[in-house]
Amino acid sequence: IKAKPWGGRFQEELDKFFEEFSESISFDHELALYEIKASLAYAEALKEAGVLLEEECLAIKKGLLEIEEEIKAGLFLFRKEYEDVHMNIEKALFEKIGEVAYKLHTGRSRNEQVVTDFRLYLADRVKEIKIELKSLMQATVDKAEEYYGVIMPGFTHLQHAQPVLFSHWIMAYYEMMKYHFQRLEDYEKRLKICPLGSSAFAGCAFGIDRKKLAEKLGFIEPTQNSVFAVSSRDFALELLFVLSLIMLDLSRWCEELIIWMSPEFSFIDLPDRFCTGSSLMPQKKNPDGAELIRGKASSVNAAFNQLWGLMKGLPLSYNRDMQEDKPPVFKAVKTTWQCLRLMSLMVSGLILKKENIEKHLSQGYLLATELADYLVSKGIPFRKAHHITGQIVYYAEKEKKSLENLTLSEFKAFSDRIEADVYNWLTIENAIKRREILGGTGFNMVKQAIELAKKELSER
């Protein structure tokens, strides 16, 4: 049986249905250019180890470069009967240069090739994702700067809580993205290690220079343990975890945009170009962009769970199950990249409806905490102050009045410590001004936070 590279030991052809079932070329063709890159470096390493003659190495490299051109031009025919990307390229090389092509596989296993290609692929994707993450961070800071000074109701439990600067609220997302960026940078240290030279799992039996090979391919260093090198998929799982965190935060942000765009809130508007209408209701303008990002978060998290489940309980070293690792990872990196890009576009286009936001500030007793703090300033213990303020809010609610509209005698009925200076405390601006504390919503603090973020971004 000559059709398969392992055919020597086999007495019958592969079942046609099984052959179709087991192929991976339909998705791992995405790794083709990385396979070429790794093979070019491996050929060189074999030559330096005295395994390949100079002219054999040259022939292999020339053939590989031709294949690379065909792949880039979209002319290369990936064939299912050759199973995966490694064998498709090996076959093509054989067709180009004959028998010498088969020398390239000396001491080499697909088990190490697949993880080498996968790591190289992910290094590029992480680079691209970091670019989008950074533009989202930039768009966020720009928006915070554009609407600096706008005060909105802050929420807990989605109920009016305390006044907050809009800029401060959205800079929370900047901070989330900043930590995701740092996570990716840290992850790159563990991603960029080179499995080549691990062979099937026991290590290459031909003395190639692994360090040189790793460096040539842009890795930081070679992997240490050859069994680990072919067995581990932690590098894919760790990325999926970070991507799923990114998507989680995007989904929360999108949820806020969706709520804020509802007529009940009417805090913001999103440009038409990121919204869609209804096929039936002519008046509709729906925040579909935000909804789709919120929805796609699920598939990225599912990818993490899918790969985790795939690896759970698998014995070392390589098992064919692991071929199933690629589709969820490919999908998750694409989805996350797209969502980050759309999110920066939407954030840049976001319009704040300041007058509407202002209307909301008079609702929900946002200044109740200020009143309690005022009582504290008059020597009343906070728990008591809290209780008295609660009673005042209850009364005001019944009277359909805001706190600042209560008369002094109305206040005095609850505490004789309340004087006319209480009204100075009961302004929205005062609530912001009283929070000039590191990390707080005070005007100066937020300005500083924006400046710091701009500096961080310019240094990245």
Q: Which residues are catalytic?
A: 157, 278
Min. distance of Cβ 197 from ligand ARG in angstroms? 16
Closer residue to ligand ARG in complex, CB, 258/322: 322
Which is closer to ligand ARG, CB of 112 or CB of 132? 112
Smallest gap from residue 37 Cβ to ligand ARG (A): 17
The region of 170-178, 317-325, 356-364, 419-427 touching ligand ARG under the rule CB under 6 A is: 317-325
What is the radius of gyration, based on Cα positions, of the chain?
Answer: 31
Q: Shortest CA distance to 290 belongs to which of 247, 335, 337, 346?
A: 346
What is the DSSP code (8-state) at residue 286?
B
Contact 134, 212 (CB under 8 A): no
**Burial class, 189, CB count within 10 angstroms (exposed 0-12 / middle 13-18 / buried 19+):** exposed
- Binding residues for ligand ARG restricted to 244-273, rule: CB under 6 A: none
φ, ψ of residue 51 to 5 degrees: the values are -85, -40
String marking each residue 64-93 x if it binds ligand ARG according to CB under 6 A: --------------------x---------
The residue whose two tokens read 């300005």 is 447
Contact letters for ligand ARG, residues 107-126 (x by CB under 6 A): ---xx--x------------
Comparison of 76 and 318: residue with beta carbon closer to ligand ARG? 318
Tokens at 152, concatenated: 């909105």
Q: Choose between 58 and 200: whose C-beta lies nearer to ligand ARG.
A: 200
CB nearer to ligand ARG: give 111 or 306: 111
Minimum CB–partner distance for residue 256 and ligand ARG (Å): 40
Beta bridge partners, 286, equal: 276
Number of residues in contact with ligand ARG, rule: CB under 6 A? 10
Contact, 236 vs 242, CB < 8 A? Answer: no
| Smallest distance from ligand ARG to CB 307, Å | 13
| Cα of 195 vs its chain's centroid, Å | 25
The values of phi and psi at residue 441, to 5°, are: -90, 10
Q: Which stretch binds ligand ARG (CB under 6 A): 247-255, 281-289, 318-326, 402-410?
A: 318-326
**28 lies in the binding site for ligand ARG (CB under 6 A):** yes
Residues 6+ apart with CB under 8 A from 201: 109, 111, 226, 227, 229, 230, 231, 316, 317, 318
- Here the tokens at position 42 are 């491996």
Binding ligand ARG by CB under 6 A: which of 235, 304, 318, 411? 318
CB of 318 to ligand ARG, least distance (A): 6
Q: At what angle do helices 32-48 and 85-97 cross, to 10 degrees?
A: 60
Task: State the Cα–Cα distance between residues 105 and 86, nearest whole angstrom.
Answer: 10
Alpha-carbon distance 117 to 39, whole Å?
10
Which region among 106-114, 219-227, 234-242, 290-298 touches ligand ARG (by CB under 6 A)? 106-114
Please, what is the minimum distance in Å from the beta carbon of residue 326 to ligand ARG? 6
Q: Toward ligand ARG, which CB reaches closer, 260 or 318?
A: 318
Which residue in the block uniquely carries the two structure tokens 């992480």?
126
Shorter beta-carbon distance to ligand ARG: residue 111 or 232: 111
Helix residue ranges per DSSP H, 232-287: 234-261
Nearest approach in angstroms of CB 33 to ligand ARG is: 16
Kindly give the interhelix angle for 54-72 and 32-48, rounded to the nearest 10 degrees: 170
Least separation in angstroms between residue 111's CB and ligand ARG is: 5
| Closer of 117 and 373 to ligand ARG (Cβ) | 117
| DSSP letters spanning 32-81 | HHHHHHHHHHHHHHHHHTTSS-HHHHHHHHHHHHHHHHHHHTT-----GG
Can you tell me which of 301, 323, 335, 336 binds ligand ARG, judged by CB under 6 A?
A: 323
Place of tokens 């005001």: 396
Q: What is the dihedral of CA 206, 209, 215, 216, to 10 degrees?
A: -70
Interface ranges with ligand ARG (CB under 6 A): 24, 28, 84, 110-111, 114, 318, 320, 322-323
